[in-house]
Amino acid sequence: MTKAVLVTGGARRIGAAICRRFAEAGWRVVVHYKTSGNVARKLAEELPDAESVGCDLADLDAAAAMVRDLAERLDDWRCLVNCASVFAADTVDDLDPETNRRAMLVNAAAPAILAQVFLRSARASGGRRVVQVTDQKLGNLNPDFFSYTMSKAAAEVAARMIGMAADDGDRVHTLAPGAILASHDQSQEEAERSHRLNLLERRTWPEEVAEAAVFLAEGPLANGQNLFVDSGQHLLDQNRDVIYLARGSGA
């Protein structure tokens, strides 16, 4: 039997890097997508042992059904990486209800349900692992992207609570990346500047986050570990998102 991993949001960006790194480590990879079906299928074809599966995580019933279906088919499903998320702008003094609703569904409620169903139903010979991707923002708060940050905080707390109730041998971890790829309305040039606003003054790359995800899945770690991969960004006190800090300072 080949150990398997499901990576939500695995078709693009950091999720795709995570899929590739798990494949390199010898895992069977299930690439989840919402609308990027062609991209997900192409990635799965490129990997040694992979498949793709589509689901809108805002549909919580469909998300749970996806996990139950995989649990029936995969003989040794050891890891779930909750990487998919939505990232839209609103602020602490102007919460947008629809932005908030979707962020809380996709970024917080869906990962919790996926983890719960996975831990209840997946068959795994080496213990099961949940890796919940959060954000360094939780250690370095600012008022930008209010609903997104709120949802990631909820996801982090949910992961900790689920981990507290996990069976012996199962582990639930959180993984907090910093600024990695161009996001929101950034250009690549802006990303190059803003993503160096950390203690090491260097860019953090998707491959580093992917390596950390595999480590959390395979390493001899106690339950409930949190790992920042952000070149020290969470140790700073940044009163705005780095997108706006770079624009305001001309860095």
DSSP 236: S
- Which pLDDT tens digit goes with each residue over 201-238? 999 999 999 999 999 999 999 999 999 999 999 999 99
Residues β-bridged to residue 227? 175
Q: Contact, 232 vs 199, CB < 8 A?
A: yes
pLDDT given for residue 184 in this prediction: 74
Q: How confident is the model at residue 189 (pLDDT cuts 50, 70, 90)?
A: confident
pLDDT given for residue 183 in this prediction: 75
Which of these, 159, 175, 158, lies nearest to 214 by C-alpha position?
175
pLDDT given for residue 190 in this prediction: 85
pLDDT higher than 70, residue 250:
no
Q: How confident is the model at residue 1 (pLDDT cuts 50, 70, 90)?
A: confident
Average of pLDDT values for 92-111? Answer: 96
Measure the CA–CA gap between 167 and 188, rounded to whole angstroms.
44
Q: Contact, 114 vs 63, CB < 8 A?
A: yes
Q: Contact, 230 vs 136, CB < 8 A?
A: yes
- Which pLDDT tens digit goes with each residue over 15-56? 999 999 999 999 999 999 999 999 999 999 999 999 999 999
3-state secondary structure of 240: coil
pLDDT given for residue 247 in this prediction: 84
**Whole-prediction pTM:** 0.95
Name the fold adopted by 4-184+204-232: Rossmann fold (3.40.50)
3-state secondary structure of 150: helix
3-state secondary structure of 200: coil
pLDDT given for residue 166 in this prediction: 95
3-state secondary structure of 205: coil
pLDDT higher than 60, residue 251:
no
More confident residue, 182 or 84: 84
pLDDT higher than 70, residue 87:
yes
- Which pLDDT tens digit goes with each residue over 124-169? 998 999 999 999 999 999 999 999 999 999 999 999 999 999 999 9
